[in-house]
Amino acid sequence: MKNLRLKAARAALDLSQSELAYRVGVSRQTINAIEKGDYNPTINLCIAICKVLGKTLDELFWE
């Protein structure tokens, strides 16, 4: 399932996939795969993404 909430939160802060990836310590391809729904990130990666984007786990990753 695509993660449009992650993509929207990233775009709202005017961050590229590359910039978000750099800030959380993964590749741009990993961020792309998460947004496309092709990769299920670890809880630690989810938390790191949330911290950078200023969102909660519920807001970005859970229904």
Model pTM score: 0.93
Mean pLDDT of 48-63: 94
Residue 47 domain-assigned (yes or no) = yes
Question: CATH code at 25?
Answer: 1.10.260.40
Decide if pLDDT at 63 tops 80: no
Decide if pLDDT at 1 tops 90: no
| pLDDT tens, residue by residue, 8-52 | 999 999 999 999 999 999 999 999 999 999 999 999 999 999 999
CA–CA gap between residue 21 and residue 49 (Å, rounded): 9
Residue 11 belongs to domain spanning: 4-57
CA–CA gap between residue 55 and residue 15 (Å, rounded): 14
SS3 for 52?
helix
Domain total in the chain = 1
Chain center to CA of 13 = 12
